[in-house]
Structure 1
Amino acid sequence: MHVTHLSLRNFRNYASADLDLTPGVRIFEGINGQGKTNLIEAVAYLSSLQSHRVSSDAALVKFGEDAAIIRAELAHGPRQLSIDVEITKSGSNRARVSGHPVKARELPRFFNTVVFAPEDLSLVRGEPAQRRSFIDSLLATHAPRLAEVIANYERVLKQRNSLLRSAKARRGSDALLSTLEVWDEQLLSLGTDIIAARLALITRLRPHLANSYRALVDANHGAGMTMRVSALADARNLMDEDGAGGEIDSELTVEEIRDQFTQRLVDARARELDRGTTLVGPHRDDVTFWLNELPARITASQGESWSFALSLKLAAAQLVREVSRTGDPVLILDDVFAELDGQRRSRLAAAVEGYEQVLVTCAVLEDLPEELWTRTIRISAGQIIDPPTAVEEPREEVADADDPAASQ
């Protein structure tokens, strides 16, 4: 799927903007602070109702305004639809697909994006929470119901931790311990679903990561990934003092996961009561990235870490491409080429050429391979300069099972 028209009102530094786009690679070029990244942020927001840059939506609304509007016309083959979102500084945001209200978790059914930004270097070098968030967002793209499962798990975890703190203060009240068993059951049920889904995703993502890294670098470098699961232990029984499990790279049945999770909760009970927090579960898991059979977080150089993180996003795009019923995701590369040498710039350009639509930002045109220079849209002070003219063949409006309008 690709964006044919993007419309912004009071979004970031744009009071008003309208831009026609065509399939293929398109470059937003301009010096820093002009608004080029704001354009691709708006496109990405439409696929998830989340910004990849800030946690608060209030920052997306132009200063002095109460609300912002993003609207995009989308096309895939003969199919057309529109997505529009109203972002408010206070109150709930609203999303519509072809004029019909939808919930945020439903948006991946209609439109997908995969974004690579400089901040994604933290996927390799940052904290476990960032890697968990990456995996979970990809899960939600594949199966929107898992977004609700993850949200429910976080709610149960919060309640269980509160109960553990109370039990610690009251020195193991029998009534509180009995209530804890109820929360244990919910933690096990939701957590098992999350662990099983994460392991299955890692298994599917691993070969795409290896292929993407080889395509970007060369065949002499091997990239891989495994999951470190606190509720499980591998054959070597690798555990730390907090009960974190070992590296898991094989498939387990749901029943096996639940059985091991149950036993680990039992084993951790005394430590949990002593510390007043939950020590076992998906919230304590991590993804380990490997480069040439060594942990990338520790051994990868700055350049290798950058290439690894980029390869991870290319792998995610390939996985979304395989399962999506709406065509390719829109691939968004925010200020990527400047960090690569000439050879890897050419390799990256070749790797993304086959995607239906790729949106790229750059501050200096010379950072891009020359073959991309003719695909540039210049951005200056929140203004779109010399946008390309989109030439679109007439398309027939086609409703399908995924379109809310189809049931009206």
Structure 2
Amino acid sequence: MYISHVSLTDFRSYRQVDLELGPGTTVFAGPNGVGKTNIAEALGYLASLSSHRVSTDGPLIHFGSEQALVRARVHRAQQAVGLELEITAGKGNRARINRANPVRAREILGIVRTVLFAPEDLALVKGDPSERRRYLDDVLVALHPHHAATRTDYDRVLKQRNALLKSARAAGRLSASHEATLAVWDEHLAAAGSKLLLGRLEVLGALEGHIADAYEGLTDGSKPATSTYISTIGGVTEDDVEPAAPGHVDASSVRSRLLDFDAKGLHEAFLEALAAQRKKELERGLTLVGPHRDDLVLGLGTAPAKGYASHGETWSLALSLRLAVYRALCQDDSRPGAKPILILDDVFAELDVSRRRKLAAVVADAEQIIVTAAVVEDVPNELNGRILTVGPGTVSE
């Protein structure tokens, strides 16, 4: 897969830029702050409808403008598709496919696939559980775009249920009206949440072996990488998962219990978990059960990665998480010319020479690689390719 043309209008620092691209490696080089990452961000946004830098769309729009446009020509296997994405802050984004009538932005999910590596990926290892939940959900949508609606439904129901719990807490009691309404939201939450949870478990099943293999390939292999899903539905709350206490939770048995459930059984287990936490939820005015409270526990050897891994180990594990996504997507669509586009955003400056070469070696088979770098010499020789110079609002040969 590759993008042959991309056009940005009022996106970040670019009033207008048109780029002709192609298979192989393209390096966007220039000083920090001139807009290299903005290009990487735009390409990643086309695939996921989200930014790896900000949580809202507002900052993506050039200051003073009302809307940003991203246009691209995408080649996948034997097909070529033209995409146009309109980004409007505070409103629903719209898209066009091959210049047809506008559709909801999420209709383009799955057309282009990218895997983006960036310094922000360190948060996957060092950050809060929300970073790892988002990682799993992003992969889920990349593999199965219809699950974008699953995420939206779950977030909507969770917001409504939390509002009801806060109302009951403020009233100091659970009235008959509150109780009846809460029972309805319990059903909705269990329905959407069990669907999202099953999707995450499927994703982790696709990623686990790849994460371990990628980490071994980037290091000396002395500390095997592990990844285990911890769920509140499995009878374990986030208070039980203490990174400072390796082995405190038998994570493997928790996940294996979840895998024993079918969709109906998981729905019932969800409702049981909600009932068990009802008193605490009313006391706190907050939903304490569901995928929004779960975590992906990453380990190296016998210790958790968070809080124990060195800086180099953290980088290697973060890269391994992204490499695992690349390999899972390659397996999902093994047709010639369908491998996802790799975007390496200012990654090589953070790595030592050994890790640079190892990363370059394992990604060299991608059909299209987009690299941003402040110093061209940081890019390994294995990724030699076309070099474009980026200046404030401009890109040139």
TM-score (norm 2): 0.90
The offset of 1:206, in angstroms, is: 0.3
Structure 1 equivalent of residue 112 of structure 2: 111
Structure 2 equivalent of residue 376 of structure 1: 387
1:149 aligns with 2:150: yes
Corresponding residue to 2:362 among 351, 360, 381: 351
AA partner of residue 54 (structure 1): V
Alpha carbons of structure 1 residues 377 and 271: separation in structure 2 relative to 1, 3 Å: same
AA partner of residue 15 (structure 1): R
1:58 aligns with 2:58: yes
**2:23–2:368: 8 Å Cα contact kept in structure 1?**
yes
Structure 1 gap ranges (5+)? 387-408
Please give the alpha-carbon distance, in whole angstroms, between the structure 1 residues aligned to 2:381 and 2:50. Answer: 33
Alpha carbons of structure 1 residues 308 and 175: separation in structure 2 relative to 1, 3 Å: same
Corresponding residue to 1:298 among 276, 299, 307: 307
Corresponding residue to 1:252 among 260, 263, 274: 260
**2:85–2:105: 8 Å Cα contact kept in structure 1?**
no
Alpha carbons of structure 1 residues 183 and 348: separation in structure 2 relative to 1, 3 Å: same
Give the percent of matched residue pairs that are identical in Structure 1 and Structure 2: 43
Please give the alpha-carbon distance, in whole angstroms, between the structure 1 residues aligned to 2:223 and 2:368. Answer: 28
The offset of 1:177, in angstroms, is: 1.0
Structure 1 equivalent of residue 281 of structure 2: 272
Structure 2 equivalent of residue 286 of structure 1: 295
Alpha carbons of structure 1 residues 90 and 183: separation in structure 2 relative to 1, 3 Å: closer
The offset of 1:105, in angstroms, is: 2.4
AA partner of residue 312 (structure 2): G
AA partner of residue 210 (structure 2): H
Moved more, 12-21 or 344-353: 12-21
Corresponding residue to 2:325 among 316, 320, 344: 316
AA partner of residue 368 (structure 1): V
Alpha carbons of structure 1 residues 138 and 67: separation in structure 2 relative to 1, 3 Å: same
Structure 2 equivalent of residue 124 of structure 1: 125
Please give the alpha-carbon distance, in whole angstroms, between the structure 2 residues aligned to 1:231 and 1:176. Answer: 23
**1:242–1:279: 8 Å Cα contact kept in structure 2?**
no
Alpha carbons of structure 1 residues 156 and 24: separation in structure 2 relative to 1, 3 Å: same
Cα shift readout 1:303-348 (whole Å, capped 9, x = no counterpart)? 1111111110111111122214781111111111111111111111
**1:24–1:358: 8 Å Cα contact kept in structure 2?**
yes
The offset of 1:64, in angstroms, is: 3.3
Give 3-state SS (helix, strand or coil) of 1:17's partner: strand
Corresponding residue to 1:219 among 218, 221, 227: 221
Structure 1 equivalent of residue 22 of structure 2: 22
**1:317–1:329: 8 Å Cα contact kept in structure 2?**
yes
Structure 2 equivalent of residue 406 of structure 1: none
Q: How many residues align?
A: 382
Moved more, 267-276 or 55-64: 55-64
Please give the alpha-carbon distance, in whole angstroms, between the structure 1 residues aligned to 2:82 and 2:287. Answer: 43
Moved more, 377-386 or 54-63: 54-63
**2:360–2:382: 8 Å Cα contact kept in structure 1?**
no
Please give the alpha-carbon distance, in whole angstroms, between the structure 2 residues aligned to 1:353 and 1:8. Answer: 27
**1:239–1:246: 8 Å Cα contact kept in structure 2?**
no
Alpha carbons of structure 1 residues 246 and 35: separation in structure 2 relative to 1, 3 Å: same
Alpha carbons of structure 1 residues 76 and 159: separation in structure 2 relative to 1, 3 Å: closer
Alpha carbons of structure 1 residues 26 and 200: separation in structure 2 relative to 1, 3 Å: same
Alpha carbons of structure 1 residues 31 and 279: separation in structure 2 relative to 1, 3 Å: same
TM-score (norm 1): 0.88
Structure 1 equivalent of residue 11 of structure 2: 11
Structure 1 equivalent of residue 70 of structure 2: 70
Structure 2 equivalent of residue 166 of structure 1: 167
AA partner of residue 219 (structure 1): G
Please give the alpha-carbon distance, in whole angstroms, between the structure 2 residues aligned to 1:167 and 1:122. Answer: 35
Cα shift readout 1:146-190 (whole Å, capped 9, x = no counterpart)? 221221111111111222222232412122112211111111111
AA partner of residue 55 (structure 1): S
Give 3-state SS (helix, strand or coil) of 1:249's partner: helix
Alpha carbons of structure 1 residues 77 and 181: separation in structure 2 relative to 1, 3 Å: closer
Alpha carbons of structure 1 residues 318 and 270: separation in structure 2 relative to 1, 3 Å: same
1:191 aligns with 2:200: no
Alpha carbons of structure 1 residues 72 and 29: separation in structure 2 relative to 1, 3 Å: same
Please give the root-mean-square deviation of Cα atoms over the aligned residues, in Å. Answer: 2.1
Give 3-state SS (helix, strand or coil) of 1:27's partner: strand
Please give the alpha-carbon distance, in whole angstroms, between the structure 1 residues aligned to 2:222 and 2:238. Answer: 33
**2:74–2:80: 8 Å Cα contact kept in structure 1?**
yes
Please give the alpha-carbon distance, in whole angstroms, between the structure 2 residues aligned to 1:222 and 1:333. Answer: 25
The offset of 1:16, in angstroms, is: 2.0
**2:14–2:62: 8 Å Cα contact kept in structure 1?**
yes
Structure 2 equivalent of residue 405 of structure 1: none
Alpha carbons of structure 1 residues 241 and 84: separation in structure 2 relative to 1, 3 Å: closer
Moved more, 70-79 or 28-37: 70-79
Please give the alpha-carbon distance, in whole angstroms, between the structure 1 residues aligned to 2:199 and 2:76. Answer: 29
Give 3-state SS (helix, strand or coil) of 2:306's partner: helix
Give 3-state SS (helix, strand or coil) of 1:207's partner: helix
Cα shift readout 1:110-134 (whole Å, capped 9, x = no counterpart)? 1111111111111101111111111
Please give the alpha-carbon distance, in whole angstroms, between the structure 2 residues aligned to 1:24 and 1:184. Answer: 50
Structure 1 equivalent of residue 349 of structure 2: 338
Moved more, 351-360 or 65-74: 65-74
Cα shift readout 1:177-204 (whole Å, capped 9, x = no counterpart)? 1221111111111111111111121121
The offset of 1:374, in angstroms, is: 4.3
Cα shift readout 1:192-241 (whole Å, capped 9, x = no counterpart)? 111111112112110010111112223323111001101113xxxx5566
Please give the alpha-carbon distance, in whole angstroms, between the structure 2 residues aligned to 1:62 and 1:35. Answer: 12
